[in-house]
Structure 1
Amino acid sequence: MRSAILALGLLAGAGANAAELPSVEHFMRYNTYSSARISPDGKFLAIGVDRNGQDVLTVIRLADMQLMKVNVLPEEKSVSGYRWISNDRLIFTSVQKFGSFAQPRGTGEWYAVNADGSKPEAVIFYGSRGTTGRAKSLGNESYSLLDPLVDDPRNVLMTAVYPRSKDGAGTELVLVDTFTGARKSLARAPRENCSIQVDEKKKPRYAVCYDDKNEQGQFDTRTELHVLGDDGKWTLVSNADIDGGKQLRVQWAAEDGTIYAELDDGKAPAAFGTVDRATGEFTELFKDPVSEVAGFVVSPVGDKALGVITAAGIPKVTLIDEEHPDAQLYASLAAAFPGQMVNFSTATRDGNQIIVSVFSDRNPGELFLYDRSSGKARFLMKGRDWVKNEDSATVRAFDFVNRDGMRIYGYLTIPKGSDGKNLPMIVNPHGGPMGPRDNWGYNPETQLFASRGYATLQVNFRGSGGFGKAFEDMAYGQWNTGIMHDIIDATRWAIKEGIADPGRICIYGGSFGGYSAMMAPVVDPELYKCAFGYVGMYDAQIQMKLSDTSKSSSGMRYLQRAFGPTRAEQDAMSPITHASKIDLPVYLAAGARDARCPPEHTEALFAALKAAGNTPEGMIVQSGEAHGFYDVGNRVKLYTEMLAFFNRHIGGKVEVGTAERTASVD
């Protein structure tokens, strides 16, 4: 199949005059909006808006941009996961925010309301309330939206998960009335731990089920695929144990009946393709030897896959259905925003009006409304309207071969106007380590560092997501060895390339990045001049006793495989064991309510370093914060202290001017 690749290429050029430094608060404020969805008939725009840390749902009439309604939830709950049910009705759920390194926690509640604010209904909740006055008390099940059924003005499809189901089939497909909350069961999953997918007729058809234990009893993730026949019986069609380790996972169904799926052999990144409805045969449409599919370009009408997005470095779109008219429209829009990532966001039911999202390393994100009849795109809003793209730093992709012969990928944020040479540098490992990764785009944290003259190096070390399961699995038992080698090798690569001043490099990170900030200097004591650990994990024993991960059997299996099953292995990989070797300036910060990496980690490491004769220069244990600080004031305090710490040890400004950029389309 012929393919077209739209590549984003970036080059930084020399700068001009230094500009006045923006405040720390300039970078720590949250985006004005989180997302936007146009109504099926194109009359309204629903927008998730941040209001002093709480996300509210606003509705605007597009004809005159008149504000119709602001939906605010009580008890500082935030609106999330909203979708249009019909031309003038929305459904949304609520979440509680607990920090920048933790996913917002769903409350289990779902609400529906008309665009003008009329006919509000608490559809799913715990307790007895609602406009109907009918009791709707729920047990321990949780609900998620599967399909809004925009052609059905009353109902939506939801999946309900029952953790303690008597028959083990813990997932159920449910039709939910958004005016009364009435629920009708449509299908039960074939076993526990499944998700249900529907076909083009919105009928239950596939179940992707998973296990988190291998034959040796270790933590591992495996999936199997079941198909629901017309006789109402489930049939197993794919299982890793019987298919040589291959895992077939259905993604979605297009309106024409095309079933999209991915086939993963557990080694290379998964292939994307289609599944034959009759035979179950997989036909490959795309496969990259390095990068997993990070996203899709889907037609505004019909849900056809037009292209796939890969992101080993700078995001790249490969069109897989070039002849589709919407693929040609996408190529035209992408060409109109050179050097930026473009995608369809949402569209009207007829596809005549499309919300188009645009972002880049220097653009925090913008939304445009494209009208097919006029062929023009109208600017709607910017995520951070106080940010000037031209004042932002450039993010370059890089790759190198590590000491083990593996090619490793990452990103460098270079201060605006710098020639990118001999810079003070902050090495910033990401959290995880299994699954999360660093991405190309506008990053307020690295932009803050760049505004003060620091380059920032981010490396997708072994274990990072996006490069296949085998690459992720390399992280098990390798926290203090292989992963640290990747981080150190990336640092030394930046020195060899002349990017980093070898005498002015600090390391900083949050969560697993905080762990890395303490462990990397143990492995290579001469490389870093200071280390800042933020909501980090420093003692395997504390993590295995106090963390929320340790509270489940699955979590304990994960920790034992990640750390090693023996006490000797766990001690060897714990920074606290090596406190006497952490012989550089240290600063620590934690959230007092952090359940993932409890503050006891930070307090224990502080005490151990003090006992070893290296008392940290500071420690913040912030009340009210969890796994990452969320309050803007607390974030400003944190990063103000952090910048002062870096300045004391590797301080030194570079000229800050404008940067040039070029983009290419291959």
Structure 2
Amino acid sequence: MHTPLKCLRLLPRFFAVSVAILLTGLGRGADKAPALPLEAFFAEPDMRSVQLSPDGKYLAFLTTLGTGKVGIALMDLATGKMEPLVSAKDENIKQYFWKGSDYIVYSGDLGGNESPAYRSISINKRKVVELSESYRERYSDMANQARVIDTLRFDPFHILIEGNKSIGSYNFRYWLVDIRTGERRSVDTGGYAVDAGNYVADNNGIMRARERFSGDKILFEIRPTPDALFTKAAEFPINDPLWEFLQFAADNETLYLISKEHSDTGSLRALNVRTGQLSPPLFNSPQGEIDRIITSWDYTKLYGVMYSTEKTHYHFFDSHWATLKARVDAALPKTENYIASTSQDEKLLLIIATSDCDPGTYYVLDLARGRLGAVGKVNHQIDPDKMRPMEPIVFTARDGLTLHGYLTRPANANSHPVPLIINPHGGPYGPRDYWGYDGEVQFLANRGYAVLQINYRGSGGYGTAFENAGKREWGGKMQDDLTDGVKWAISQRITDAGHVAIYGGSYGGYAALAGATFTPDLYRCAVNYVGVSDLTIITSWSRSRFGRGSDLYAKEWIGDDAQYKHDHSPVNFVDRIKIPVLNAYGFNDPRVDIDHWKRLEPKFKQYGKTYEIIIEDNEGHGFRNEAARTNFYRRMETFLAKYMDANDPSVRLAPVQAQEMPAKEKSN
């Protein structure tokens, strides 16, 4: 299935230039953007997930190889030579990581089932070793599945996983896997405990921290020494955990964590697991949550943190890295610049320069020579000058809650209202929309639509109180936030009533269905992409597959009252729909089961509603393969062009002040 490749028939375009660190960035801002081919936005990127080898000799990256599938390619930084490394015949490689400077571990799932098959390959020997297989739930094959707990940066030959011992085995626990042979060796977890999970290993691969349910509490437990039993470090109400373990420093005693005990948005703190002493807050941003910490390659130093408000920000504890970041930003002033990878000695840095209009360019910064070299673009088909800026926006919901989001307008939107698409993100709890390049948004703007992305209540990034405000508000206040966003956009003359559609995926697909059923006069059409239609399925699904933690999540966040689930499930109110709805599902979806569509379609037929359906047999929660992905967006493009057209006789527009736009009902 997975074989090394000897020829590379299709490579991304690279820049063979080496420029001084005072290099300037790209410009932006054409007044009118021509319609670009759909494939420019949704074909596989030229290069992505670029990583430096620890010794700084190679760049590895994902790209489309001559097999037609996404594989791994290498670039020799000394010679500039590029070559393919490995690809899979049946599926795309989706992720990888270096193990030392000679091995790469990579993975891909089967048909979107989100159970990755892991392989390793030696750079020198080009030998592929099978480490785990994908678990095909529908066929109950009990593969020797694996979920990587820790890549163990300082151990060149082992990774830490959760899984079963071998094919057909029910011995499910934690293992050290030898990437050279695939052999699994059991790991001491500090004593068996019911309802324990989210283990954190130290840098030697020893489990030193975990979370455990106990009655109506959640315990955060630590092992003071590698051979000790777990002891309690903190406890919180089971529905309000205020800690999140991050990672160990190099000393294997300092454990970084996020604490929300005295800060709604969370503070970075350090817990000494040997003494149990918790440091004062190291950093907190009242306006946004911490995205990640920045450390030295060897974890001996804490350089800083990244956090997000309207855009991404940095706070540095290390003056050298603060200065370095400032120099890079001065060299690339028109982009947001992120250090994506470093060599082990930190003399080579891989930087990706990106923006709301630019998918990104990768650079290698050689600190010894003071040179910045561009090595490749993420997508050479996108001209940043022809993309549209993403504008941060703020408005107030009907109950006074402040909501944030982003507005992207098409090139012709300067002087008059344009058709608008509300695009709620998935999740819903925890994820949020960020400022930056979004191919989907740019595609819609390129086709003449404004796109409004609202971080509705329940979204992450704005603090605990904001996220908690979305509890049990599926089809309730979270949906009201989207409705209020439409009204705000109309009041700002961004769009007119009667020219608004709603499109989203996952929870966003649920929101699209909820918009069509619960506010049937608000939207002109809707696009449901792998969306929940019946809350009874999603709550029973989480309970049956992931035990007590997901059962509690279903009750606390989604809602577990039978009447509530009935009243907030769009499948029960299809008779109210007045607009055309495009639906798309993956048959293998492990999150939103295909039963959501199987229950929804008979209702569309029963009530004679106008709908379209796409079912991809070899896809899961979102279409990952290029052919399926481009087909979906082409269908959506045609669908929107038809039903957002003000001259379309199949859509009767109600008076503007009423914000009603019912569609004629007709059989499919």
Name the TM-score class by shorter chain.
Answer: 0.7 to 0.9
In the TM superposition, what is the alpha-carbon distance from 1:352 to its structure 2 partner?
0.9
Per the alignment, residue 310 of structure 1 pairs with 307
Contact 1:427/1:505 (<8 A) preserved? yes
Q: Distance in 2 between matches of 1:266 and 1:401?
A: 26
Q: What letter matches 1:56 in structure 2?
A: G
Matched, 1:639 2:633: yes
Superimposed CA distance per residue, residues 334-390 of structure 1 (whole angstroms, 9 cap, x where no aligned partner): 232224322222222211111112221111122110001221210011111221111
CA contact 2:521–2:578 (8 Å) conserved in 1: no
Matched with 1:6 is none
Counterpart CA distance in 1 for 2:244 and 2:328 is 33
Distance 2:383 2:462 in 1: 33
Is the 2:197–2:211 contact (alpha carbons within 8 Å) kept by the matching residues of 1? yes
Of 27, 30, 35, the match for 2:41: 27
| CA RMSD, Structure 1 to Structure 2 (Å) | 3.6
Residues in 1 aligned to 2:47 and 2:248: alpha-carbon distance in whole angstroms:
27
Partner of 2:220: 224
CA distance in 2, matches of 1:286, 1:616: 53
2:637 is equivalent to residue 629 of structure 1:
no
Secondary structure of 2:573's partner? helix
Task: Indicate conservation of the 8 Å contact 2:110/2:134, yes or no.
Answer: no
Paired letter, 2:559: G
Go from structure 1 to structure 2 and tell me whether the alpha carbon gap of 1:424 and 1:283 turns closer, same or farther (over 3 Å shift). Answer: same
Instruction: Show CA shifts across 1:25-61 (max 9, x none).
Output: 2212122233122222222222222447733222221
Q: Report the equivalent of 2:345.
A: 350
Question: Which residue among 230, 233, 250 is the counterpart of 1:234?
Answer: 230
**Structure 2 unaligned spans of 5+:** 1-26, 136-141, 648-668
Which residue, out of 116, 120, 125, partners 1:111?
A: 120
Q: 1:495 to 1:303 in 2, by over 3 A?
A: farther
- The partner residue of 1:265 within 258, 261, 268 is 261
AA partner of residue 396 (structure 1) = E
Q: Give the Cα separation in 2 of the matches to 1:258 and 1:327.
A: 23
Partner of 2:97: 82
Q: Which stretch has the larger CA shift, 326-335 or 44-53?
A: 44-53
Q: Secondary structure at the match of 1:489?
A: helix
Which whole-Å deviations, capped at 9, do the CAs of 1:563-591 have from their partners, x for residues lacking one? Answer: 53333212110112222322223332323
3-state SS in 1 of match to 2:414: coil
CA displacement at 1:624 relative to structure 2: 3.0
In structure 2, the CA distance between the partners of 1:148 and 1:32, relative to structure 1 (3 Å rule), is farther
* Equivalent runs, 1:469-548 vs 2, <5 Å: 469-543=464-538
Q: Distance in 2 between matches of 1:454 and 1:67?
A: 40
- The answer to whether the 8 Å contact 1:297/1:307 transfers is yes
Within 1, Cα distance between the matches of 2:68 and 2:292? 28
User: As a proportion of its length, which structure holds more strand?
Assistant: 1
The 5 A counterparts of 1:49-128 are: 49-51=63-65, 54-76=69-91, 78=93, 80-85=95-100, 87=101, 89-96=102-109, 98=111, 104-107=114-117, 109-113=118-122, 115-123=123-131
Deviations 1:620-657 (A, max 9, x none): 3333333222333333332222222222333489xxxx
| Distance change >3 Å, CA 204–CA 377, structure 1 → 2 | same
Aligned partners of 2:48 and 2:229: how far apart in 1?
41
* Cα 1:25/1:629, change in 2 over 3 Å: same
1:253 aligns with 2:261: no
* Structure 1 contact 207–226 (Cα < 8 Å) conserved: yes
How far, CA to CA, are the matches of 1:243 and 1:424 in structure 2?
41
For residues 388 and 505 of structure 1, do their structure 2 counterparts lie closer, same or farther at Cα, with a shift above 3 Å needed?
same
Distance change >3 Å, CA 603–CA 79, structure 1 → 2: closer
Greater relative contact order: 1 or 2 (C-alpha under 8 angstroms, separation 6 or more)?
Answer: 1
Residue type matched to 2:347 in 1? N
The one-letter code sitting in structure 2 at the alignment partner of 1:380 is V
Q: CA deviation at 1:248?
A: 5.4
Hey, what's the Cα distance between the residues in 2 that align with 1:312 and 1:641?
Answer: 35
Residue 359 of structure 2 contacts residue 378 of structure 2 at CA under 8 Å; is this kept in 1?
Answer: yes
Task: Verify: 1:282 aligned to 2:297, yes or no.
Answer: no
1:593 Cα offset (Å): 3.5
Asked if the contact 2:111/2:618 (under 8 Å) is kept, the reply is no
Equivalent residue pairs, number: 608
Supply the AA of the counterpart residue of 2:455.
Answer: N
Deviation, structure 1 residue 527: 2.4
Aligned partners of 2:522, 2:162: CA distance in 1, in Å?
A: 51
Q: Is the 8 A contact 2:539 2:560 kept in 1?
A: no
- Distance in structure 2 (CA, Å) of the matches to 1:126 and 1:501: 49
Tell me if the contact between 1:13 and 1:418 (Cα under 8 Å) persists in the aligned partners.
no
Contact 2:574 2:604 in 1 (8 A): yes
Distance 1:366 1:420, change over 3 A: farther
Secondary structure, counterpart of 1:645 in structure 2: helix
Consecutive unaligned residues in structure 1, runs of 5 or more:
1-11, 128-137, 216-220, 654-666
> Would the aligned equivalents of 2:353 and 2:361 in 1 still touch at CA under 8 Å?
yes
Q: 2: CA distance between counterparts of 1:291 and 1:378? A: 33
How far the C-alpha of 1:502 sits from its partner, in A, is 2.5
CA distance in 1, matches of 2:603, 2:499: 26
For 1:444 and 1:112, locate their aligned partners in 2 and report how far apart those are by CA, in whole Å.
32
TM-score where L is the length of structure 2 = 0.81
Distance 1:560 1:53, change over 3 A: farther
Of the structure 1 ranges 519-528 and 486-495, higher mean CA displacement relative to structure 2 is found in: 519-528
1:453 aligns with 2:448: yes
**Aligned residue for 2:593?**
598
Distance 1:505 1:378 in 2: 45
- Report the Cα offset of residue 199 of structure 1: 4.8
**One of 47, 70, 74 as aligned partner of 2:61:** 47
